[in-house]
């Protein structure tokens, strides 16, 4: 097989990996805020429920969660799913998993903000929502960005776990090419593509961090 053909097939796999990455990120970032707020809630049943959710998501392998969501509807309720369900199961598993991690990172950032800033905002007449959105959240984002960057880069690599549901992402495509061509070149190319993907993600995150330099601790 020609190198150009091989790269074309890997490029198609990369598009699937990028789609999983984007959907997981767009879904888990805002959900993580809700998880953090639920975790810190003074309503104990809610806080305990969210803590249990975080414990399960962080304490079990993402691959197991993918399989559970894929086969759960049939195994638990006898619901027949179609061929497209594996994609939806992948998106749901990634969003739920990463929302748990992001939620804990958000929580640590929110709790690091001095109490005096909340009191000052109250004196100035800010509502709790305004205080959180205009004063707390921008500082939280700057403080948690290094930890968030690590998780986001990990997410790029974790998209390869979608192979367990036969999703034709980059890693699955490279494995199929290796088996077909009896050559390690597809793995080398896939590794280079993952590195380039992460390089772009890291560059974007560094740009965001520089934009937030005007927030000083």
b/e burial code for range 172-183 (CB count within 10 A of at least 16 → b): bbbbebeeeeee
- Please report the pLDDT score of residue 211 as a whole number: 80
Contacts of residue 167, defined as CB under 8 A and 6 or more positions apart, other chains included, come to 16, 20, 86, 87, 90
> How far is Cα 134 from Cα 30, in angstroms, rounded to an integer?
17
**pLDDT tens string for the chain (217 positions)?**
788 899 999 999 999 999 999 999 999 999 999 999 999 999 999 999 999 999 999 999 999 999 999 998 888 888 888 888 999 999 999 999 999 999 999 999 988 888 888 888 888 888 888 888 888 878 888 889 989 999 999 999 999 999 999 999 999 999 999 999 888 999 999 999 999 999 999 999 998 888 877 555 5
> How far is Cα 34 from Cα 169, in angstroms, rounded to an integer?
30
- Please report the pLDDT score of residue 216 as a whole number: 54
Nearest residue to 68 via CA among 47, 43, 96, 40: 96
The pTM score is: 0.90
- Please report the pLDDT score of residue 85 as a whole number: 94
């Amino acid at each position: 097989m020609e190198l150009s053909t091989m790269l074309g097939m890997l490029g198609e796999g990369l598009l699937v990996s990028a789609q999983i990455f984007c959907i997981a990120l767009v879904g888990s970032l805002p959900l993580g805020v809700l998880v953090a707020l639920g975790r810190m809630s003074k309503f104990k049943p809610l806080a305990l429920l969210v803590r249990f959710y975080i414990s399960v998501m962080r304490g079990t392998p993402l691959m197991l969660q993918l399989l559970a969501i894929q086969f759960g509807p049939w195994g638990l309720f006898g619901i027949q799913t179609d061929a497209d369900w594996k994609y939806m199961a992948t998106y749901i598993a990634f969003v739920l998993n990463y929302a748990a991690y992001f939620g804990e990172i958000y929580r640590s950032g929110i709790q690091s903000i001095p109490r005096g800033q909340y009191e000052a905002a109250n004196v100035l007449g800010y509502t709790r929502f305004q205080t959180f959105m205009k004063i707390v959240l921008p500082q939280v984002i700057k403080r948690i960005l290094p930890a968030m960057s690590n998780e986001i880069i990990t997410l790029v690599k974790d998209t390869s776990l979608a192979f367990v549901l036969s999703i034709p992402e980059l890693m699955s495509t490279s494995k199929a090419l290796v088996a077909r061509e009896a050559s390690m070149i597809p793995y080398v190319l896939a590794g280079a593509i993952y590195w380039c993907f992460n390089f772009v993600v890291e560059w974007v995150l560094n740009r965001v961090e520089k934009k937030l330099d005007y927030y000083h601790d």
